[in-house]
Every structure is written in C-alpha cells, then in structure tokens.
Amino acid sequence: DGGITQSPKYLFRKEGQNVTLSCEQNLNHDAMYWYRQDPGQGLRLIYYSQIVNDFQKGDIAEGYSVSREKKESFPLTVTSAQKNPTAFYLCASSIDQAGRAEAFFGQGTRLTVV
Amino acid sequence: KNQVEQSPQSLIILEGKNCTLQCNYTVSPFSNLRWYKQDTGRGPVSLTIMTFSENTKSNGRYTATLDADTKQSSLHITASQLSDSASYICVVSASHSSASKIIFGSGTRLSIRP
C-alpha cells in the first residue's frame, strides 16, 4: 500500500544526545516536510524539501538537521542544540512542488527527553 | 505575514448536536485551503480541500465553506458523533511560482459528550 511511514512511534532520548527520526514515503512525492507539535499548539514547520538533495529551513529549524539523499526518505535529526525537544513530530509529503496538492501525513513520532 | 487563525480554541458539545468551526487567514497569494482531522497521537487526515473558485464542499457530515473575499472558512459538523472528538486543523497553501508554503492553524479541539 502507498503511504508515508514514520518510525519509531515513541522515542526516548537522554539529554545531550542526538537522535534521528525516520520518514519514508512510497507515493513518489517530490516535496516532504517536518513539523513539530506541542500540546495545545498548532504545527510548526521545521524543514522542508521540494526535491532530492535540496532542503530549506522552516520557522523553527534551530537545533535540527535534515538530509534528502533519496526521494523516498527525509530523516530528521534532533541535535543536542535543541533545548526543548520533547514534542510530537509529524512528517508529510506532497506531490506538487507548488504546494497545491494535498499533504499526506505520517502517524507521527513522540519524542521524550528523559 | 502569512497567518491562519482558528476559533474557538476548544469546544464541547453534546452528541447529536451541530457545530461550526472558524478559520481566518491572511495568506497571499492564496492557493488552496484544507481542513484536517487529527485524532490524539495520530497524523492529520484530510477532510476537504478548496481552491479559490470553490465556496462549499461536503464530505459526509462535514461541510466546509470558503469566502475568498473575506478570507474566511468554516467547517460545519452535522449530527455530531462521539468519533468526531478530535482536533480540526485549517491549513492554507500559498503559491509563489515554484516555491510553496503551507501554513497551519493551531486547531480547534472538539469534544463530543454523550
């Protein structure tokens, strides 16, 4: 089945550690996005990529890094520089580079710093 | 600045009642507007998508309206069911030639009580 898959669903990280969240899609979508959601808050854009080997910072990119070596994959690394990483992270993809198509979301990864 | 504002922030209604959620946006140039339903701990799922020329679109008990002149949208839920309890997110896409930006509202948390 076509879709967008995030893993793991739950992730625990010790303070000072980097951690990478996986996002894979088999929808042949060009554009992919990472969002962060805090309790009671809306989604905030971390990074987005409109084509392989290219990505752009979103509104809250500090403390995060991404790569887009393959069309299907857009992993997000939460670095130790991110001071408040505990949140729900959502990955999305869209078929149209101009954003006119619908965004499909993964099921999310809940990251907790312990 | 591109913004999407939703109201109310939260809403509690009795099962079987109707309700209307509001979305105001200042996104330009406007491409499309979508309403998503997000169950707790899950990724958002699209309910409706509307472009500039559409002013009403229905999906079962969900009816979305769009007034492009006043930059307002509403989502009306008829005969609410317990399964309608979720967050409803308004998402507006701006189109800038080859670039794109998707702006999320903070959502309305709807609770249906038996």
Q: How far apart are CA A89 and CA B35, in angstroms?
A: 19
* Chain A nearest CA to B55, separation (Å): 17
A50 → chain B, closest CA residue: B99
Using CB atoms, which residue from A31, A42, A99 is nearest to B106? A42
pLDDT value at B8 more than 90: yes
Counting one residue from chain A and one from chain B, the pairs whose CB atoms sit within 8 A come to 69
Structure confidence at residue B54 (pLDDT): 87
Q: How far apart are CA B58 and CA B79, in angstroms?
A: 14
Digit-coded pLDDT (tens) for A33-65? 999 998 877 788 899 998 899 999 988 999 999
Digit-coded pLDDT (tens) for B76-101? 999 999 999 999 999 888 776 545 56
Choose, out of A23, A102, A104, A112, the residue to mutate when testing the contact with B (most B CBs < 10 Å).
A102
Q: How far apart are CA B76 and CA B93, in angstroms?
A: 21
Q: Does A108 touch chain B (CB under 8 A)?
A: yes
Digit-coded pLDDT (tens) for B34-69? 999 999 888 889 898 888 888 999 999 999 999 999
3-class secondary-structure state, position A3: coil
